Chains A and B, each alone.
Chain A
Amino acid sequence: MIKNSDTSFGIVNIAIHWITALLVFGLFGVGLWMVDLSYYSEWYRTAPDLHKSFGLTLLALTLFRIIWKLINPSPKALSSNKLETMAGKLAHFAIYALLLTIMVSGYLISTADGRGIEWFWLFEVASLGEFVPNQEDIAGDIHEWAAYILIGLVVVHIIAALKHHFVDKDKTLVRMVKVQKEEHQD
């Protein structure tokens, strides 16, 4: 099953979710590490180059993901608690918003002086120029703080998923791992 249904996520959605998870953790870790590298480290140039390339990849993936979400049904929430369902929706929306904020601000740091960003040494993603004075500083602060908030929210996201699995004993977590067969009433 490629597309989502009312009860199950399709393979595309599941794949994007876990690739995103991997990239978010990777980018966050590398981001923290690379800003403290010494100038003479052999990673001093390579790590930021890779961080930017993977970040742009995640941006493209996220834009596709949003389109995919719009043309697909979303599986219904399994909790009967309305407040919990609302909180979940709000948190998911915030995660999307933070992802876009982080990636756009990251792009704005590197492109503040008109330089583009090279994508895996293959082609250049052009700069759109400077939108505000000191763009690299402002975008840098937003990039950093939004990343910390995102990781905080991801922790909540994980705890919530585990709560569904172990406390509520529903399929919320399982259906993000495996495409669910259509349920038959028998």
Chain B
Amino acid sequence: MKKLMITLAAIVALGASHIAQAADYKVDIKGAHAFINFKANHLGYSWLTGRFNKFDGNFSYDAKNPEASKIVIDIDPASVDSNHAERDKHLRSADFLAVDKFPKSKFVSTKITDLGDNKLKVEGDFTLHGVTKPIVIDAVKIGEGKDPWNGYRAGFAGTTTINVADYDFKSAWVGEVQLELLIEGIKQ
């Protein structure tokens, strides 16, 4: 009986510690410690990179139970920035992102698998150009801990590859585009 009580107490304590540690984080867009980059092949000869400057998101994460984590990221596709005004104008046009028609892009995780060694497989739905498709982001936790300003932060990096043809881009010839998400969150 005593043994059972101890076991029960341990389970309750463990559960409580889970609840205590499962925290909600807000992506640090204010301090710009998060980045959403893309990379596309140019002519088969080189890489072109760019990023989305405006996005927001939050996630919950518990190092003891990573599979209970969740992440949502909202991206403003009109904020595309490839360091060339004429190209960005073209990327926002109907040939590519058609931002007038589809002003919102979003990633919502549906399942997170712990692969060990800080590696995570993040499955979710990605909405771009009005099309929602399941994607898998290969993510890794970079680290977490107290920051020097009385906060607590956790950071992740994730990569995935999409084919713009799957998202009905008019300029489907662009083909595959790599997305890189560098996400730092501040515990709420």
Contacts and interface: CB of A to CB of B under 8 A. Distances in A.
Contact of A136 (B83, B89, B173): B89
A20 interface: no
B86 A110 contact: yes
A128 to B, nearest CB: 13
A109 B173 contact: no
A140 B171 CA distance: 20
A113 interface: yes
Contacts of B171: 39
B187 interface: no
B24 interface: no
A130 B81 CA distance: 15
Contacts of A112: 85-86
A117 to B, nearest CB: 11
A39 B84 contact: no
A76 interface: no
Contacts of A40: 173
Contact of B88 (A38, A110, A115, A136): A136
A46 to B, nearest CB: 15
A180 interface: no
B26 interface: no
Contacts of A135: 85
B86 A109 contact: yes
Contacts of B129: none
A168 interface: no
Contacts of A170: none
B90 to A, nearest CB: 9
A124 interface: no
Interface size class of B (residues with CB under 8 A): under 10
Interface string B98-121: 000000000000000000000000
**Residue of A112, A113, A135 with most partner-chain B CB within 10 A:** A113
A109 B71 CA distance: 37
Given A113-B83, A113-B84, A137 B173 contact: no
A109 B89 contact: yes
Nearest to A114: B85
Interface in A64-96: none
B85 A115 contact: yes
Contacts of A110: 85-86
Interface string A107-143: 0011111010000000000000010000111001000
Contacts of A140: 89
A39 B86 CA distance: 14
A59 B172 CA distance: 37
Contacts of B173: 38-40
20 contacts: A39-B171, A39-B173, A40-B173, A109-B85, A109-B86, A109-B89, A111-B85, A112-B85, A112-B86, A113-B84, A113-B86, A115-B85, A130-B85, A135-B85, A136-B85, A136-B86, A136-B88, A136-B89, A137-B92, A140-B89
Kindly list the 10 A-B residue pairs having the minimum CB-CB distance in the complex, ordered from nearest: A112-B85, A113-B85, A136-B85, A136-B89, A140-B89, A137-B89, A113-B84, A110-B86, A136-B86, A137-B92
Interface of A: 38-40, 109-113, 115, 130, 135-137, 140
Interface of B: 83-86, 88-89, 92, 171, 173
Given A39-B171, A135-B85, A136-B85, 14 more contacts: A38-B173, A39-B173, A109-B85, A109-B86, A109-B89, A110-B86, A112-B86, A113-B83, A113-B84, A115-B84, A136-B86, A136-B88, A137-B92, A140-B89
